[in-house]
Amino acid sequence: MASTQFLCSSHLFPSSRSSFRSSHLPRFKPYGSSNFHSKLHCQRPHLVRAMVSDSNTSRKQVEIEYDPEGRINKLADEVDKDAPFSRLTLFSPCKINIFLRITNKREDGYHDLASLFHVISLGDIIKFSLSPSKTTDRLSTNVSGVPLDDRNLIIKALNLYRKKTGSDKFFWIHLDKRVPTGAGLGGGSSNAATALWAANQFSGCLATEEELQEWSSEIGSDIPFFFSQGAAYCSGRGEIVQNIAPPLSLDIPMVLIKPQEACSTAEVYKRLRLDQTSNVDPLTLLENIKRNGISQDVCINDLEIPAFEVLPSLKRLKQRIIAASRGEHDAVFMSGSGSTIVGVGSADPPQFVYDDDEEEEEEEEEEEEEEDDAISLL
């Protein structure tokens, strides 16, 4: 079986006020129209039509039209005619940790960290529509294995917003998932921040963005970062967010590769030993990156050692990427608690990724042939 999955070639996502924000959308730039004074419309799929005719005459015909999204959009328009808009489509970017220092274990069981977070161009697309329901949100997605109930951070975020503001709005949400789970890229945290921001827009901005950022830490330590300008030095549990100017060129290329297996964050932290972590001051790392750019010696992740214990193939993957890059990458490191390995400086994935895919296809073909042979013997 192939041990790796090529996620994407990517780059840092803009974090300046003019590009990561807009005058109407201070944090999350909309995917599509930016005119928020009129109703927003999701892109509609092609209609599915079926023609039914009488077998005796071609004059009697009934046309059946199946357009579920069109029906949802129509219902959403009728839910609250006073709302600023009835549906909204947003880009939900993920992040990488350029460095991640674990500095202390707290009495409450959490760990203090110091990390340079930066959003990148990989992300999910989330569609929100007002729902006529006054009791339930409805979430759908394009991938299996993602919880659709209140275990999902999107639903948790919407429940949190209603609790804090008294809003009575519920939603239909479709999550076009492109960021894998268990990858150390903060996809779920970004989704939660996007949901909080969207709910606030639908409700006429009952809360400030500072309040949204503060509230978000109640359901996830990484979520407050996604209310930043895109690059931030984060400390505490991750909820203390200090905006910084992008320390790297926004067009710097990178490649993201992960094993098929995910890393359990809880298991990684369980195996963490503070005596095995780096002793480099994280502020020194930040200053070195600002002054000299990215290099292997500043991309320290204290969670790599325990993550490699949880998933030994992850250590081998990092070693293979470094060996195969032949110096093309300025740095190769794990993001978050894993299991994504990031190579910065080149967008070209190493050849072994394609070789592994070919090996997997050959193994699948061999398995199919063996099954056919077994059937023939029977």
Q: Tell me the catalytic residues.
A: 95, 222
The CA distances from residue 36 to 88, 198, 204, 334, in Å, are 9, 12, 11, 39
The residues near 362 (Cβ < 8 Å, ≥ 6 apart) are: none
- Selection from 323, 340, 192, 135 nearest residue 255 by Cα: 340
Q: Please, what is the angle between helix 312-325 and helix 351-377, to 10°?
A: 130
CA distance 106 to 272: 13
- Distance, in Å, from the CA atom of 131 to the CA atom of 79, rounded to the nearest integer, reads 7
144, burial (CB in 10 Å: exposed 0-12, middle 13-18, buried 19+): exposed
Whether residue 339 is preceded by a cis peptide bond, meaning omega within 30 degrees of 0, is: yes
Beta bridge partners of 301: 100
- Tell me which DSSP letter residue 301 carries: B
Tokens of 231: 């690059």
Helix (H/G/I), strand (E/B), else coil: 122: strand
- Give the amino acid at 159: N
Q: Are 26 and 230 in contact (CB under 8 A)?
A: no
Question: Which residues have a Cβ under 8 Å from the Cβ of 342 and sit 6 or more positions away?
Answer: 96, 254, 255, 256, 331, 332, 333, 334, 335
Phi, psi of 172 (to 5 degrees): -95, 130
Three-class SS of residue 141? strand
Entry field: residues in the chain: 378
